[in-house]
Amino acid sequence: MTVPLGAYVVVSTVLFFIGCAGVLVRRNAVVILMCVELMLNAANLALVAFSRKYGSIDERGSVFVIFVFVIAAAEVAVGLGIVLSAYRNRPVVNVDEIHQMKG
């Protein structure tokens, strides 16, 4: 009794939407970045699960996952750079208060 493919996709969906809800609801910029990472991870899980659907490894799924890793790492670095330099300008990290380019 192996695990059906749908189970992996459901777990990936649930995790993706938890991350999505986090991005929409949380106010701290760093926590929003963390939730974006969760969403990227969920997408990776779906990619790897589908690349095994037809018996042999379809390596294109895994290659795409590697590129998603690269993009996620680059995005966290630049995103944190933006958050930290905005924090240096005005010490707030609450996204409700830094949405106006004033001050």
Partner 1 sequence: MTYDFVEPVVFALLSIGLIAGGVAVVMLNRITAAALLMAFTFLCMAGMFVLLGAETIALFQVLIYVGAITVLILYGVMFTRFSDRPRALFFQRQTPLAAVFVAAVAIPVAIVALSFTSPTPRPGGGDLVPLATSVFTDFAFPFEIASVLLLAAMVGAIVLTKRDDPGESALRRRR
**1 or 100: whose CB is closer to partner 1?**
1
Distances (CA, A) of 82 to 19, 23, 72, 101: 21, 17, 15, 14
Site for partner 1, residues 53 to 72, rule: CB under 8 A = 53-57, 59-60, 62-63, 65-67, 69-72
- Contact letters for partner 1, residues 32-51 (x by CB under 8 A): -xxx-xx--x--xx--xx-x
Nearer to partner 1, 96 or 102 (CB): 96
Rounded Cα gap, residues 28 and 8, in angstroms: 30
Q: According to the binding rule CB under 8 A, does residue 98 interact with partner 1?
A: no
Kindly tell me which residue out of 27, 90, 98, 99 binds partner 1, with binding defined by CB under 8 A.
27
Assess 89 for contact with partner 1 (CB under 8 A). no
Alpha-carbon distance values, 89 to 3, 69, 80, 84, 99 (Å): 51, 30, 14, 9, 14
Asked if residues 32 and 26 have their Cβ atoms less than 8 Å apart, the reply is: yes
90 binds partner 1 (CB under 8 A): no
